[in-house]
């Protein structure tokens, strides 16, 4: 499913109307009908229910007027407040305003201070409120009078339905500059907008419904639309039951390179996650003195000792052994628990030069790249990078605040510039492709903010690559499945006590559910 900017939605609307002959007022009617369906689900029975609809001057207000009329037809007691004079309304909105007048709808003005008392009085009687003041074209701050209207809406404490987007939220950024309607439900049309996904707009959106208003589907699937929401349907084509005629070699061999003194857990969890993700074989290559610890973690994980430094990290003397290992596997995950030390950069440069299989670079592998990012060019294979915001900041020599302020575009630009798949971890993990396409993930929860969660994700992505998924879609599928495992684990154990191994233990159930779909 695409995520759209306001301008992209405006162009799609224009094509539907002008090139394919679907009248705007038909789209408006469909938007109203779809929203009423959601209201019916919330209230159960709308007959005799008291509803207040607040309509703006633009087409979003026209949607609200359709909603009011449809609710009246269903027996609801509807009061409409219009925040503009009739002559200020857009043409399609004015038509619906005139229809309301002709059918004797209960309609009042709301654009002068003297109108506020009646509005506040009706809101106090409301069992549900419909916000159709501003749509996705809104930018900036609400004016003082509008903010007063919004404050009254927010203070009522009943379900609030926002039409397309809560008024006061910017559709392209999710920013709220003064105040905004705090919706319990938002019904948006054709596709979600960035303001529904990004904070703080996401906090004002409530439960989001994406409604079909008869815009031709192919207009919403154009290759020029580069932003996507990861849903189960996105990755469903990659799951299926295994063939009976198969063996462990059928499902690939993951090499996990990493580990150092005090950080054996990272490489162990990445290897274990790769197994649980379905890889046929997993080998963990670690500093020699640490091998017994990793080997004792899970008997299914094969281990290889590597030459080590005096501080039990991988030494440059291990490079010939690493080259041999790279020639015998399907994918290499590198960096988990490797630590930051002098030889790390040389090891990463060697792996990038010599690898003939896809690489998933995590943690200290990314930190090593940050010392000289140009070494990313020394490779002939696909690379997936999985930084958290701090590691991304080091890669770009920016602050974490700068990274977090524009996560999507920073990830997109880096992926294009360096021809990599970038997984920028965190709340709503972003997967960016060399093509400029980005995918945003909504699974997961705050309980996953725990040591080792990123190592598990590295292992899952590597395990999916080993089984034949291309690295880009392995990253997309990996972040979705990782988050979904976290959601199942949090339902069973709560968020506060969640640990990384809980995610691994719930992976089989997530994969079982995916295969059953």
Q: Tell whether the model's pLDDT for residue 319 goes beyond 80.
A: yes
Spatial distance between the Cα atoms of 209 and 31, rounded to a whole number of angstroms: 12
Which residues of the chain are in CATH 3.40.1190.20 domains?
234-516
Contact 433, 415 (CB under 8 A): yes
| 31: three-class secondary structure by DSSP | helix
Per-residue confidence (pLDDT) for residue 207, from 0 to 100: 97
Per-residue confidence (pLDDT) for residue 173, from 0 to 100: 96
Q: Tell whether the model's pLDDT for residue 441 goes beyond 80.
A: yes
Per-residue confidence (pLDDT) for residue 238, from 0 to 100: 83
Contact 458, 386 (CB under 8 A): yes
Place of tokens 């910017």: 170
**Across the chain, what does the average pLDDT equal?**
96
Per-residue confidence (pLDDT) for residue 510, from 0 to 100: 96
466: left (phi over 0), alpha (psi -120 to 50) or beta: alpha
pLDDT tens per residue, range 267-280: 999 999 999 999 99
Per-residue confidence (pLDDT) for residue 516, from 0 to 100: 79
Per-residue confidence (pLDDT) for residue 418, from 0 to 100: 97
Per-residue confidence (pLDDT) for residue 322, from 0 to 100: 98
Residues belonging to the binding site for (6S)-NADPHX are 59-63, 135-141, 164, 266, 337, 388, 455
Q: Tell whether the model's pLDDT for residue 347 goes beyond 90.
A: yes
As a CATH number, domain 234-516 is: 3.40.1190.20
Contact 459, 277 (CB under 8 A): yes
CA 284 to chain centre: 31
Q: Tell whether the model's pLDDT for residue 236 goes beyond 90.
A: no
How do strand 438-440 and strand 430-432 relate by DSSP bridges?
antiparallel
pTM of the model: 0.94
The average pLDDT across 327-355 equals 96
Per-residue confidence (pLDDT) for residue 246, from 0 to 100: 93
pLDDT range class, residue 237, cuts 50, 70, 90 = confident
Per-residue confidence (pLDDT) for residue 240, from 0 to 100: 79
**Of the given ranges (7-16, 43-52, 264-273, 360-369), which has the lowest mean pLDDT?**
43-52
* 436: phi then psi, degrees, rounded to nearest 5: 95, -10
* 392: phi then psi, degrees, rounded to nearest 5: -65, -40
Q: Tell whether the model's pLDDT for residue 517 goes beyond 80.
A: no
The average pLDDT across 233-240 equals 85
* 292: phi then psi, degrees, rounded to nearest 5: -60, -35
Place of tokens 């906090």: 203
- CATH 3.40.1110.10 for the 6-225 domain, yes or no: no
The average pLDDT across 311-336 equals 98
The average pLDDT across 115-126 equals 98
Per-residue confidence (pLDDT) for residue 407, from 0 to 100: 96
Per-residue confidence (pLDDT) for residue 332, from 0 to 100: 98
pLDDT tens per residue, range 371-417: 999 999 889 999 999 999 999 999 999 999 999 999 999 999 999 99
pLDDT range class, residue 348, cuts 50, 70, 90 = very high
Place of tokens 């990253």: 475
Q: Tell whether the model's pLDDT for residue 157 goes beyond 80.
A: yes
pLDDT range class, residue 38, cuts 50, 70, 90 = very high
pLDDT range class, residue 220, cuts 50, 70, 90 = very high
pLDDT tens per residue, range 195-210: 999 999 999 999 999 9
Q: Where are the alpha helices (DSSP H) in 53-90?
A: 59-73
Count of C-beta atoms within a 10 Å radius of residue 407: 21
Q: Tell whether the model's pLDDT for residue 217 goes beyond 90.
A: yes
Per-residue confidence (pLDDT) for residue 283, from 0 to 100: 98
pLDDT tens per residue, range 445-500: 999 999 999 999 999 999 999 999 999 999 999 999 999 999 999 999 999 999 99
Per-residue confidence (pLDDT) for residue 241, from 0 to 100: 83
Q: Tell whether the model's pLDDT for residue 515 goes beyond 90.
A: no
pLDDT range class, residue 442, cuts 50, 70, 90 = very high
Place of tokens 């002559």: 87
DSSP class of residue 380?
S
Q: Tell whether the model's pLDDT for residue 364 goes beyond 80.
A: yes
Which residues of the chain are in CATH 3.40.50.10260 domains?
6-225
The average pLDDT across 333-353 equals 96
Q: Tell whether the model's pLDDT for residue 355 goes beyond 80.
A: yes
Residues belonging to the binding site for AMP are 425-429, 454
Residues belonging to the binding site are 59-63, 131, 135-141, 164, 167, 266, 337, 388, 425-429, 454-455
Per-residue confidence (pLDDT) for residue 239, from 0 to 100: 80
Strands, DSSP E only, in 217-358?
227-229, 253-257, 281-287, 302-306, 331-334
């Amino acid at each position: 499913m695409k995520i759209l900017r306001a301008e992209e939605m405006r162009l799609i609307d224009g094509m539907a109307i002008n090139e394919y002959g679907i009248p705007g007022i038909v789209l408006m009617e469909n938007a109203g009908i779809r929203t009423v369906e959601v209201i019916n689900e919330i209230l159960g029975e709308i007959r005799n229910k008291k509803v207040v609809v607040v309509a703006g001057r633009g087409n979003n207000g026209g949607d609200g007027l359709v909603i009011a009329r449809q609710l009246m037809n269903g027996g609801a007691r509807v009061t409409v407040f219009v925040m503009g004079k009739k002559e200020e309304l857009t043409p399609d909105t004015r038509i619906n305003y005139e229809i309301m007048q002709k059918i004797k709808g209960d309609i009042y003005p709301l654009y002068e201070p003297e109108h506020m008392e009646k509005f506040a009085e009706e809101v106090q009687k409301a069992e549900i409120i419909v916000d159709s003041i501003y749509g996705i074209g809104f930018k900036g701050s609400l004016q003082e009078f509008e903010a007063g209207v919004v404050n009254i809406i927010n203070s009522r404490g009943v379900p609030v339905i926002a039409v397309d987007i809560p008024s006061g939220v910017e559709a392209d950024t999710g920013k709220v500059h003064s105040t905004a309607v705090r919706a319990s439900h938002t019904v948006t049309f054709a596709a979600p907008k960035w303001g529904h996904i990004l904070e703080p707009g996401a906090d004002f959106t409530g439960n989001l419904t994406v409604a079909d208003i008869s815009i031709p589907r192919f207009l919403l699937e154009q290759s020029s639309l580069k932003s996507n929401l990861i849903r189960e349907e996105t990755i469903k084509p990659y799951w299926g039951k295994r063939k009976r005629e198969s063996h462990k070699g059928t499902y690939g061999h993951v090499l996990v390179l990493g580990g150092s003194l005090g950080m054996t857990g990272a490489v162990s969890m990445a290897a274990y996650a790769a197994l649980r993700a379905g890889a046929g074989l997993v080998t963990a290559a670690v500093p020699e003195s640490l091998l017994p610890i990793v080997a004792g973690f899970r008997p299914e994980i094969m281990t290889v000792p590597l030459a080590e430094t005096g501080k039990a990290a991988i030494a440059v003397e291990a490079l010939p052994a690493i080259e041999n290992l790279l020639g015998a596997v399907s994918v290499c995950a590198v960096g988990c628990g490797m630590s930051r030390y002098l030889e790390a950069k040389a090891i990463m440069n060697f792996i990038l030069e010599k690898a003939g299989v896809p690489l998933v670079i995590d943690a200290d592998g990314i930190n090593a790249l940050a010392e000289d990012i140009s070494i990313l060019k020394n490779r002939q294979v696909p690379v997936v990078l999985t930084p958290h915001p701090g590691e991304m900041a080091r890669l770009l020599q920016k602050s974490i605040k700068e990274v977090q302020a524009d996560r999507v575009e920073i990830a997109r630009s880096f992926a294009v510039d360096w021809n990599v798949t970038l997984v920028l971890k965190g709340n709503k993990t972003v997967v960016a492709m060399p093509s400029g396409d980005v995918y945003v993930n909504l699974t997961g929860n705050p309980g996953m903010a725990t040591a080792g969660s990123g190592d598990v994700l590295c292992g899952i992505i590597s395990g999916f690559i080993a089984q034949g998924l291309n690295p880009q879609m392995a990253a997309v599928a990996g972040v979705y499945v990782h988050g979904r495992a976290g959601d199942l684990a949090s339902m069973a154990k709560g968020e506060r006590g969640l640990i990384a191994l809980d995610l691994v233990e719930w992976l089989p159930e997530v994969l079982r559910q995916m295969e059953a779909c």
